[in-house]
Amino acid sequence: MIGLSPLSVALLTAVVTGTSAAILAWRERPDAGATWLALLLLGQVWWTTFLVFELEASTLAAKALWYDIQWVGVVLVPVGWLLFALEYTGRDRYVRPGVVAAACVAPAITVLVVATGDPAGLIVANREVADTAVGSFLRVDPGPWYYVIAGYTYLLGLIGSVPILQLVRDDARPFRGQSAALLVGTAAPWVSSLLHVTGAIPVPGLDPTPLAFAVSGVAYLLALSRFRLLTLTPAPRRRARQLVFEQLHDPVFVVGTEGHVLDLNRSAADVFEVDRRTAVGEAASTVIPRYDSLNGDRGDIGPLSIVGRNGRQPYEITVRGVSDDHGRAVGRLIVFHDVGEYLGQQQRLNVLNRVFRHDVRTETNLIHGYADQLMTNPSDERALSIVKKSASRILDLSERTRTASELFDPVSEPEPPVPLSEVVDEAVADLRAESPDARVSVDGDLPDVSVPATLRVVASNLCSNAVEHNDAAAPSVWLEAAVENGWVELSVADDGPGIDPAEYEVLAHGTETPLEHGSGIGLWIVKWGIDQVGGSVSFAEREPHGTIVTVSVPTGDAVPINGAGSEHAESAESTDSAGTGQ
């Protein structure tokens, strides 16, 4: 460095620190902000390096040449800072080609004007050499574009500093340290540049901004090494929170203090069939289901029955007030929890608990009582028959309970649709094997369609119930099926005594009590299976006696998602009669 002025030596120190920080930033690619921070530091190094050339030049023409070359670095710094700040803080959706191109328009014009020699004096109206006590500088009279690009530079610096400032009060200490170092690194040259532009520097022609880059280099090096600037960034955290909101299975709405929708996640738009583009800004009462029932800023409401894409479902609704950092209310967060599956599980557990607590215990007590009688009289045929029947009923309950458990196993893969004829043939064959005395017939031709595999269990239980509760010596069972508008109706009729109205009430209410409960588990399995595929079940009396049970399910390629209902299912449930009228 022999022959260099002290100012040039100081500037080269800034070049070294800036280059070191740029290398560290470049090595961290593709971490968020790494490329743009390296670009920012490259601009600082470029500007400082060619300022040294300007200071050491001895003629006006040479100084003017190096001054013009510095503009490449001058315009790189604010663009690099803005894009780094956006990407580093997780606002990378703004760092796309269109935004980058727009940010580079003014810098590109500046470089183009300089490259063509600035014949109109837009950037520099006049140049002259100013000899001072600290060196020989090129003093310029700025043109109009000089102030435009200066203002643009400060604007980009301010915009980029806003998201960084938000991290100063962050709960995470590393982010506070990073943001403080970044703000120091960017504030030093910006303040120096502002002092130069306003003429506050007493040395003619001296722009102290490159000298301030030494402070920036140290600050950025500290942020990169001490605070792990690019290896521990807030970008993934911000993006993760956005993803949680968007990917959350529960529908979520954000409502402002004036009662207008401010935001909603993807699930809310899908489940309640809301257009996100038009919903924001609309009155919450016209967008959010049952909004009038959601009073206050805090509480859990429900379950409420709400119609959505998946039909009518029960939802519990959580309402939470949203406040700013000053404790002022700024809105409400409304979350809908679909509790249909949970309530269904509770219902199944209650029924299965009744089966084991009541039905199995009753049969076990019978076996125990008649077992004592058989010990004293082994030839008692009546007692032996009762014991066998009770044991058979326990085995049947066990098998049906196992079937119910497998039917609603959450980890099991759903079976593909099966032909309707296969379902009916299996149900008829099983019934004939189970009850050889039963007379089973299929009326008419079966439609050539596929149905949900769940209908196998449903049809089997319907046929078993038709015989099990029939007091005739030779029970009769008739099956018939029809298809219309993508829905299959399968009817099972019998000539038994009919179903106790109390059974209907229990199924309709969906709950059992110690005094009101079903006589078995078969009809529950039918109801659960039909609910699972979004179908319906109805009951009708058969003349002169007997029952007709009709289940309606979608064809195999039209099963609603998540066992959702439909208008067809809802209308079918509201009817009291269906079937063939055998």
One DSSP character per residue, 83-137 reads: HHHHHHTT-GGG-SHHHHHHHTHHHHHHHHHHHTT-TT-SSEEEEEEEEETTEEE
Structure-model confidence comparison of residues 70 and 312, the more confident one = 70
Indicate the pairing of strand 124-132 with strand 418-419: unpaired
For Cα atoms 189, 195, 201, give the angle at the middle one, nearest 5 degrees. 115
State yes or no: pLDDT of 277 exceeds 60.
yes
Tell me the per-residue pLDDT of 297-332, one tens digit each, with 9 for 90 and over: 667 776 777 776 666 678 888 898 888 766 788 888
How far is the C-alpha of 304 from the C-alpha of 318, rounded, in Å? 12
pLDDT surpassing 90 at residue 105:
yes
How far does Cα 377 stand from its chain's mean position?
Answer: 69
Q: State the helix-helix crossing angle for 34-56 and 60-88, rounded to 10 degrees.
A: 170
| Chain centroid, CA 243 distance in Å | 6
DSSP 8-state class, residue 283: B
3-class SS string, 146-209: HHHHHHHHHHHHHHHHHHHHCCCCCCCHHHHHHHHHHHHHHHHHHHHHHHHHCCCCCCCCCCCH
Task: Output the average pLDDT for the chain.
Answer: 80
* Residue 567, pLDDT score: 41
The band of 577, judged by pLDDT with boundaries at 50, 70 and 90, is very low
Residue 572 in tokens: 């079918």
> Rounded distance, CA 410 to CA 398, Å?
20
Do residues 464 and 410 make contact, with C-beta atoms less than 8 angstroms apart? Answer: no
109 phi-psi bin (left φ>0, alpha ψ -120 to 50, beta other): alpha
Q: Does the pLDDT value for residue 145 go beyond 90?
A: yes
Give residue 411's pLDDT: 56
Count CA atoms within 13 Å of residue 58 on its CB side: 2
Here the tokens at position 36 are: 């743009």
Check residue 8 and give its pLDDT.
Answer: 85
The pLDDT confidence band at residue 65, using thresholds 50, 70 and 90, is very high
In this structure, what are the phi and psi dihedrals at residue 346, rounded to the nearest 5 degrees? -60, -40
> What's the distance, CA 264 to chain centroid?
11
pTM greater than the 0.85 cutoff? no
8 Å CB contact between 254 and 279:
no
- Residue 533 makes CB contacts below 8 A (sequence gap 6+) with 452, 454, 455, 553, 554, 559, 560, 563
Please state the separation of Cα 191 from the chain's center in Å: 44
- What 3-state DSSP class applies to 142? strand
- Relative to beta strand 439-442, strand 476-484 is parallel
Residue that is written with structure tokens 């959580």 in the block:
318
**What pLDDT is stored for residue 407 in this prediction?**
62
CA distance 275 to 399: 48
Give the chain's radius of gyration (CA, Å).
Answer: 40
* Structural domains of the chain in order of their starting residue, each with its CATH number: 6-237 (1.20.1070.10), 248-338 (3.30.450.20), 339-412 (1.10.287), 414-582 (3.30.565.10)
DSSP annotation string for 290-351: TGGG--SSEEEEEEEEEEETTEEEEEEEEEEEEE-TTS-EEEEEEEEEE-HHHHHHHHHHHH
DSSP code of residue 236: H
Strongest mean pLDDT among 144-153, 265-274, 353-362, 380-389: 144-153
Q: Determine how many CB atoms are found less than 10 A away from the CB of residue 28.
A: 19
pLDDT-derived band of residue 500, with 50, 70 and 90 as boundaries? low
What is the token pair recorded at 439?
Answer: 């007379």
Task: Provide the pLDDT for residue 325.
Answer: 66
* CA 113-116-120 angle, 5° bins: 65
pLDDT(516) > 60 = no
pLDDT at residue 107, as a whole number: 95
In tens, the pLDDT along 30-53 reads 888 889 999 999 999 999 999 999
551, β-bridge pairs:
490, 537
Q: What pLDDT is attached to residue 515? A: 39
- In tens, the pLDDT along 229-254 reads 777 777 677 677 777 788 788 899 99
Phi-psi sector, 281: left (phi>0), alpha (psi -120 to 50), beta:
left
pLDDT for position 468: 78
Is residue 576's pLDDT more than 50? no
Nearest to 461 by CA among 486, 490, 489, 439: 490
CB 25 within 8 A of CB 38: yes
**pLDDT at residue number 358:** 66
Q: Which of 364, 435, 366, 355 is nearest to 402 (CA)?
A: 355
